[in-house]
Structure 1
Amino acid sequence: MGGAVGIMPVTDSVFLLAESREHPMHVGSLEIFTPPEGAGPDYVSDLYAKFLETEVVDEVFRKRPGHPVSSLGYLWWSVDEDVDLEYHVRHSALPVSGRSTDLFALVSRLHGTLLDRHRPLWEMYLVEGVEGGRFAVYTKTHHSLMDGVTALRLLHRTLDPDPDSEARVPWNLPERARPRTAHTAAAPANGLAPVPAALLVAARGLAGDAAEAAAGVWRVARTVLGQRSVALPFEAPRSIFNVPIGGARRFASQSWPLDRIARVRDEADASFNDVVLAMCSGALRAFLLELDALPEDPLVAMVPVSLRTAERIDAGGNSVGVTLCNLGTDSPDPVERLRVIRASMSEGKALFHGLTPVEALVWSAANIAPLGLAPVPGFVRLTPPPFNLIISNVPGPREPLYWQGSRLEGVYPTSVVLDGQALNITVTTTAGSLDVGIVGCRRTLPTLPRLLAHLEQSLTDLEKAFAPE
């Protein structure tokens, strides 16, 4: 039963409105753990039973969409009083081999299924039998509840640098407890939200944002026009990634030592993110050459930028801007590709500098707005893509972390792909490693796991190109 209700920001409602069977709009991650020495055969089963005993569930994990008032989407959240943890938290196992391909197949299948909107929008799977005596945890949360940065930060807060600490779960972190917001009110007996009051509150907030946005539009446009080398939507070439997609997904992941990326960064006088983008650029070029599908013009990546302030770092919802990056895939030279990427990202960062949060959202919305037209028949096939793919970099923990004695070995993000955007690469860090999670449309990119080998070769090429003399 739904209890209290709260206004749903437009930025959250958009992810519910955009969702369909072919376009699940949840984000998540796959975590790999090595159990402590002496862990018995029932270790994971005992963890699962412990999680089901949780009595208190944080409000964010009790939220589900309220009843829609029109075809325009949802305007409020309903908060369930009781959560069926046995439904949301599930225990699974791999075949006896426990190979990475078995794990990839399971995550691919799970990531392609929709979350039930009649329940809080999240699920967790504990997976036994991973090769080497390890186990995995796959989680997915609807993008309307929280963005990928928030989801990963919540995950990290369940872990501890002390291997002897007790396991915690994202839905029961006591330090997250806080009073209801001012816009939360009791639901009437029929479970429906007080629509007139909700609309009035939402309208006041939207009016204020709209006024600030209107004032900032001209300044943003003037800045962009003054920096014409900034990548703009619809300048990307058409590629095999920019086609209508189906609902099935393919997932692959791998880790690389951080010191390899750091050495290239230092020798090239570039940022860490520039090197990661260059690593992806080389891999994408090789992957497309292998398929005889490399465009003559360079691919353009949409790169999310967190706009979340320190005060809101653990809040739910979404606070993400975007910039576009020229990946330089038309060049066979890794040095030239990195130079192009560094220049493109520098221009994008300069554009964001000094913008208010609303102005930054205006510019970001201009970049991603064309995706809203993807459902229009023929739009994806007949128009140039606004960009070719999404590449995200989410900062992770810098020290070894544990979950009831189990060491965290890797965190592999599982993000969203969209109509006309069949590939997503998201990276994060775990202590001394770079963890890469790749999600794609299964029908469009059946050989997606080949990107892992190309990422390794691309990093090797960068190391050779910037090796100290």
Structure 2
Amino acid sequence: MRAVNLADAGFLYLEKRQTPMHVGGLSLFTFPQGVNRHRFLGELLEVLRTQEEYRRPFGEFVTSGRAGPLGPLYWEHDTHLDIDYHVRHSALPQPGRYRELFMLVSRLHSSLLDRSRPLWEMHLIEGLQGNQFALYNKTHHAAVDGVSAMHMTNAMYSSKKSARSEHSPLSRATYERYKQSKLKQQAVHVDLKSKEMRTVMEAMRQQFDTTTNLMSAFRRFGGAFFGRSGNLSVPWHQIPHTSINTRVSGSRRFVAQSFAFERVRGVCKAMDGTINDIVLAMCSGALRRYLASQKERPTHSLKAMAPVSLRDDDDLDSSNAVGFITADLATNVFDPEQRIRKIQASMAAGKALLQSMTHAEATLFMQLTQIPVLLTSVLGLAGKFPAFSTVISNVPGPREQLYWNGAALEGIYPASVVFDGFAMNITLVSYKDQLDFGIVACRRSVPQVQRMIDYLEESLQELEEVAGIRTVPGKRRRERTGAPAVKIAGEAGAAASPKTKTITKTKTKAKATARAKTAAPNSTRTKGTAGVKPKHAPPT
């Protein structure tokens, strides 16, 4: 047995029926041309069910040892791993639209992982329209974070269409091969000073610097809480109570969508910001619209927990190495240009705080500041005293086309964690020339979360107008606060997808429904916008 470290154990202690603490992902694939689909899926299942040595902790389960449930937790090797339990084959009901796919993923993402077994599952899903199939996987957050999950994805797939794998994607052999190729790509830097023996005085000076930097960081952190640190945002400070900051049930809703990376990068260049700034601004505008549709418009701005990776470039093995920046989303600012400037200032202040410390100091600082967040969740107080409004995470992914035994990977849509006080989670992955958004929300606390997809598109269009990229005759349209005119994934009667949505003309309700037309998939492409050109449009 080996001990579960404190950061990973936190996710295990936080878990209960209402708050499953696993992260997942939905991958969409196009079948290779000319293959027998049933035979091809059967071959993939054989690969997934290959019995071999798994990398840690995928061949281990969690136990509390002799100390009982209140004692420390350990990873213990599972000598009787039942691979058929972990790798499952599912089929969508007819007509096999993305709506049915999202409903299945929502249901799978709601259930707890069995702690008496290794904490992961994979579901190969067939019956999807448009010559496609899907793979949904979920792994406990104690075993992976967003970056390590992306390393798993890269290890599983190949940039070569002809590549074939005979090993399980979770096997030690697969991961070691990926790890070696990754390390070879990284430049080797030798710090000659680190080889010198430090004197006692040098060690004392380093300790003094660490203490000084941490004290300075905590002073700025405390000053921000009392409104004395300019643009720096911190947890709990003026967090408004909304429907996305309540206690959650155990049921989940999942929706997804792709957006063209060039559109976001165009706004980024015009506004002199980063990709993260524009993504946060997109989410800010979407959340404004969503809350208005629920008859909510809080006076104070929503604040997002924006996770940042604290792992070294050559660290491929850590389960969780994550800190966070508190981002002011400026949802109380009507003007979109002023809104994005305030978001930029907030992110810059958060980054400056982290950059004022060394890597080790920043890691320690994040661990200490996360303790109150964990305590409020453990004590059941997060629903009454939320530290943030939501979680918005941007995970860097592969920039090249990937394949799985010849099947083209079309999109990677993350499905993350929600818990008391954080009833909605927005996570995105950059893949190829697109940004793949996955939104998870509590089914009871956050109704009609599928509207967020349409609101994200409207928000991006608004930013393009402000940046001068998208010209619209006349005045800029007012923010819509009611139900979207566009039917999107998950709504009754919609055949939408992460790359598809149904545009409805607005005459009468009956005529609008009768005349619904489906736009091309792959991003939210509408007239006048630059979406990703589709290659395979699913039938509707």
TM band (smaller chain)? 0.7 to 0.9
Q: Is the alpha carbon distance of 1:40 and 1:439 closer, same or farther for their aligned partners in structure 2, counting shifts above 3 Å?
A: same
- Structure 2: segments with no counterpart, 5+ residues: 178-206, 472-540
Q: 1:7, CA displacement in angstroms?
A: 2.0
Confirm or deny that 1:285 pairs with 2:282: no
Q: Partners of 2:344 and 2:466 in 1: how far apart?
A: 16
Q: Partners of 2:108 and 2:249 in 1: how far apart?
A: 15
Match of 2:44 in 1: 47
Give runs of aligned pairs for residues 171-320 of structure 1, distance below 5 A: 171-174=170-173, 176-177=175-176, 217-224=214-221, 225=223, 227-235=229-237, 236-312=239-315, 314-320=316-322
Q: Is the alpha carbon distance of 1:14 and 1:44 closer, same or farther for their aligned partners in structure 2, counting shifts above 3 Å?
A: same
Pairs aligned (count): 431
Match of 1:8 in 2: 4
Q: Is the alpha carbon distance of 1:450 and 1:117 closer, same or farther for their aligned partners in structure 2, counting shifts above 3 Å?
A: same
1:16-39 deviation per Cα after TM superposition (whole angstroms, max 9, x unaligned) = 111000111111110000011012
Q: 1:215, CA displacement in angstroms?
A: 7.2
Q: 1:213, CA displacement in angstroms?
A: 8.7
Give runs of aligned pairs for residues 425-440 of structure 1, distance below 5 A: 425-440=426-441
Letter in 2 for 1:394: V
My pick for the range that moved more, 332-341 or 388-397, is 332-341
Which residue, 148, 153, 159 being the options, matches 1:150?
Answer: 148
1:362-391 deviation per Cα after TM superposition (whole angstroms, max 9, x unaligned) = 4434256234223435x34543x2110000
Aligned residues of 2:31 and 2:37 also touching (Cα < 8 A): no
Letter in 2 for 1:122: W
Match of 2:485 in 1: none
Aligned residues of 1:233 and 1:367 also touching (Cα < 8 A): no
Q: Is the alpha carbon distance of 1:211 and 1:46 closer, same or farther for their aligned partners in structure 2, counting shifts above 3 Å?
A: farther
Aligned residues of 1:14 and 1:73 also touching (Cα < 8 A): no
Match of 1:59 in 2: 56
Aligned residues of 1:28 and 1:148 also touching (Cα < 8 A): no
1:86-127 deviation per Cα after TM superposition (whole angstroms, max 9, x unaligned) = 111111011121111111111111111111111111110000
Q: TM-score, normalised by structure 2?
A: 0.76
Q: Partners of 1:295 and 1:223 in 2: how far apart?
A: 26
Q: Partners of 1:249 and 1:214 in 2: how far apart?
A: 43
Q: Partners of 1:350 and 1:426 in 2: how far apart?
A: 23
Match of 1:185 in 2: none
Q: Partners of 1:230 and 1:457 in 2: how far apart?
A: 28
Letter in 1 for 2:142: S
Which residue, 345, 350, 357 being the options, matches 1:355?
Answer: 357
Match of 1:460 in 2: 461
Letter in 2 for 1:321: G
Aligned residues of 2:152 and 2:175 also touching (Cα < 8 A): no
Letter in 1 for 2:173: P
Q: 1:71, CA displacement in angstroms?
A: 5.0
Give runs of aligned pairs for residues 102-181 of structure 1, distance below 5 A: 102-167=100-165, 169-174=168-173, 176-177=175-176
Q: Partners of 1:27 and 1:229 in 2: how far apart?
A: 32
Match of 1:186 in 2: none
Give runs of aligned pairs for residues 433-448 of structure 1, distance below 5 A: 433-448=434-449
Q: 1:238, CA displacement in angstroms?
A: 1.4
Match of 1:418 in 2: 419
Aligned residues of 1:243 and 1:422 also touching (Cα < 8 A): yes
Match of 1:200 in 2: none
1:264-297 deviation per Cα after TM superposition (whole angstroms, max 9, x unaligned) = 0111110011101101110000111111112111
> Secondary structure of the residue that 1:61 maps to in structure 2?
coil
Aligned residues of 1:323 and 1:367 also touching (Cα < 8 A): no
Aligned residues of 1:325 and 1:345 also touching (Cα < 8 A): yes
Q: Partners of 1:11 and 1:319 in 2: how far apart?
A: 8
Q: Partners of 2:9 and 2:359 in 1: how far apart?
A: 19
Q: Which has the larger radius of gyration?
A: 2
Q: TM-score, normalised by structure 1?
A: 0.87
Q: Is the alpha carbon distance of 1:74 and 1:414 closer, same or farther for their aligned partners in structure 2, counting shifts above 3 Å?
A: farther
Q: Is the alpha carbon distance of 1:368 and 1:352 closer, same or farther for their aligned partners in structure 2, counting shifts above 3 Å?
A: same
- Structure 1: segments with no counterpart, 5+ residues: 179-209
Letter in 2 for 1:428: V
Q: Partners of 1:295 and 1:39 in 2: how far apart?
A: 54
Confirm or deny that 1:31 pairs with 2:27: yes
Q: Partners of 1:421 and 1:213 in 2: how far apart?
A: 33
My pick for the range that moved more, 232-241 or 218-227, is 218-227
TM-align CA RMSD: 2.2
Match of 1:336 in 2: 338
Q: Partners of 1:382 and 1:320 in 2: how far apart?
A: 25
> Secondary structure of the residue that 1:95 maps to in structure 2?
coil
Letter in 2 for 1:59: R
Aligned residues of 2:302 and 2:389 also touching (Cα < 8 A): yes
Letter in 2 for 1:240: S
Q: Partners of 2:72 and 2:128 in 1: how far apart?
A: 40
1:128-170 deviation per Cα after TM superposition (whole angstroms, max 9, x unaligned) = 0122120010011111111121012211221111111114543
> Secondary structure of the residue that 2:437 maps to in structure 1?
strand
Q: Partners of 1:340 and 1:46 in 2: how far apart?
A: 52
Q: 1:463, CA displacement in angstroms?
A: 0.8
Q: Partners of 2:256 and 2:106 in 1: how far apart?
A: 11
Q: Is the alpha carbon distance of 1:446 and 1:75 closer, same or farther for their aligned partners in structure 2, counting shifts above 3 Å?
A: same
Aligned residues of 2:64 and 2:70 also touching (Cα < 8 A): no
Between the aligned residues of both structures, percent identity stands at: 40
1:172-216 deviation per Cα after TM superposition (whole angstroms, max 9, x unaligned) = 2526349xxxxxxxxxxxxxxxxxxxxxxxxxxxxxxx9999776
Letter in 2 for 1:13: A
Q: Partners of 1:29 and 1:447 in 2: how far apart?
A: 21
Q: Partners of 2:56 and 2:391 in 1: how far apart?
A: 30
1:202-258 deviation per Cα after TM superposition (whole angstroms, max 9, x unaligned) = xxxxxxxx9999776423213434844311111221111111111111100000111
> Secondary structure of the residue that 2:27 maps to in structure 1?
strand
